[in-house]
Amino acid sequence: MKNVITKKRVGLCLLLLVVSSVWADQGEGHDEGAGAEHEHGPEESAGEVNGHSDDLTLTEAQRRMLGLRVITLQSGAGATRSLRLPAEITSNLYRTWEVPVRVDSQVLSRSATLGQHLEKGDPVATLFSAEMATLQAELRAVSDEWRRVRSLGRATVGNQRYLDVQGRYQDLKARGRGYGLADADLADIEKGKGDAGVYTLRAPDTGLVLSDAFQQGQWLAAGSSLITLVDESELWAEAALPPQPGLRVDTGTPARVRVGETQVDGEVILSGHRLDPVTRTMEVRIRVPNENHLLHPGMFADVELVLPLPDNALVVPEEALTRGGDGDWQVFVEEEPGVYEAREVSPGQSLEGARVIRGVPAGARVVTRGAFFLASEQAKSGFDVHAH
């Protein structure tokens, strides 16, 4: 019995020795194969093309599968970019008038209403003033005297009296204009027309009554505003420009103003050079033609400015920019069909869906669509793309 057990143990030991020897032979063969592949297989390593280990390669089939797109960088004079800004439509202050009461007066009746379109010379309101009654009486008397003196002539009445009467007459007419009287109203006073102390204020120009702040029968002190009159055939768009070093918006820059579905072309007439202390933005004012009166003060708008780029500026779509392993921006330049090299660049001004870059020369062929895929493969330890 003991002999049988001993023989079985010996056989088992022999079997284990044989198996261990086979495993050792296989392991050594595998290591040699791996070493040979590492040493002699440059076709399978990551991007070993033309001696540049940083280059990435794609076959024609792979490029078609990815929809790879390449553009040629070109610089040229006359290149522009668009800048969008929020804005508000405001009145053109150069075409806006305040119609005030120039002397303490009482409103007898109104002739203009809110939103009414007035022509130059149209009546705004009829008022009464005791001071105006005094002016009217003096003007009637002096105008009669002036007519007599003028008809007699300087030689007859004497030079001193002639100049004295002429001066008082001109002074009273100037006071009447200062009170807001039109030349036609002054002529009526000289003729003795109208009630004492009653006078009419008129529109100084054509425009729309934007606001009024008076009631009939109300007493108003000198300087009080009756109405605000605005010519809406030309308005302003006030935009807020964020501060960006080197960003200039010159007077005369074309601008496109959009309010809903309405679009109007205008131009910049003012560009501030100092930040607003509250909003930390710079004011840009755009003149907006409004002949059809489609726009009104108070509306919100979007303004698109067309700004020139430097003549040597190179622009790429945003999708061409990726991050390299060190975190810097880069683009992929096509060295030859199917061979791509990462080049570090410095991004400049941000455009609408594009970016000005520096670091590659004009004429370089830069990958746009497919750049993200190349960056992903670049981040791997190897580059082995298969067009499955």
Q: Give the DSSP letter of residue 353.
A: S
In a domain, 224, yes or no: no
Q: What is the CATH number of the domain that holds 259?
A: 2.40.30.170
Same domain, 286 and 272: yes
Q: What is the CATH number of the domain that holds 354?
A: 2.40.420.20
Give the model's pLDDT for residue 213.
Answer: 84
In a domain, 240, yes or no: yes
**pLDDT band at residue 327 under the 50/70/90 scheme:** confident
- pLDDT at 227 > cutoff 90: yes
176 burial (CB, 10 Å; 0-12 / 13-18 / 19+) is buried
In the listed set 308, 331, 358, which residue is the last one of a domain according to the structure?
308
Same domain, 261 and 283: yes
Same domain, 260 and 320: no
**Range 284-288 average pLDDT:** 94
The vertex-385 CA angle with 381 and 388, nearest 5°, equals: 145
Q: Which domain holds residue 191?
A: 130-196
Take residue 321 and report the two structure tokens written for it. Answer: 């920019």
- pLDDT at 347 > cutoff 60: yes
In this structure, what is the dihedral angle of CA atoms 147, 152, 153, 157, given to the nearest 10 degrees?
-100
**Range 102-120 average pLDDT:** 94
Backbone angles phi, psi at 341, to 5 degrees: -120, 135
**Range 191-217 average pLDDT:** 93
Most confident of 42-51, 190-199, 274-283: 190-199
In a domain, 221, yes or no: no
In a domain, 122, yes or no: no
265 neighbors 287 (Cβ within 8 angstroms): no
Same domain, 301 and 240: yes
**pLDDT band at residue 82 under the 50/70/90 scheme:** confident
In a domain, 206, yes or no: no
Take residue 163 and report the two structure tokens written for it. Answer: 């100049």
In a domain, 38, yes or no: no
In the listed set 277, 308, 339, which residue is the last one of a domain according to the structure?
308
In a domain, 387, yes or no: no
Backbone angles phi, psi at 259, to 5 degrees: -125, 105
- pLDDT at 27 > cutoff 60: no
In the listed set 263, 293, 308, which residue is the last one of a domain according to the structure?
308
Of 139-143, 194-198, 303-307, 335-339, give the lowest mean pLDDT range. 303-307
Give the model's pLDDT for residue 301.
Answer: 95
- pLDDT at 49 > cutoff 60: no
Same domain, 191 and 340: no
Give the model's pLDDT for residue 380.
Answer: 80
**Range 186-214 average pLDDT:** 93
Give the model's pLDDT for residue 23.
Answer: 37
In a domain, 273, yes or no: yes
- pLDDT at 81 > cutoff 50: yes
- pLDDT at 383 > cutoff 60: no
- pLDDT at 222 > cutoff 90: yes
Q: Which residue has the higher pLDDT, 228 or 273?
A: 228
Give the model's pLDDT for residue 378.
Answer: 86
360 neighbors 366 (Cβ within 8 angstroms): yes
Give the model's pLDDT for residue 183.
Answer: 93
Of 35-39, 129-133, 148-152, give the lowest mean pLDDT range. 35-39
Give the model's pLDDT for residue 76.
Answer: 60
Ramachandran category for residue 140: left, alpha or beta (phi over 0 → left; psi -120 to 50 → alpha): alpha
- pLDDT at 137 > cutoff 80: yes
Q: Quote the number of domains for the chain.
A: 3
What mean pLDDT is reported for the chain? Answer: 82
**pLDDT band at residue 225 under the 50/70/90 scheme:** very high
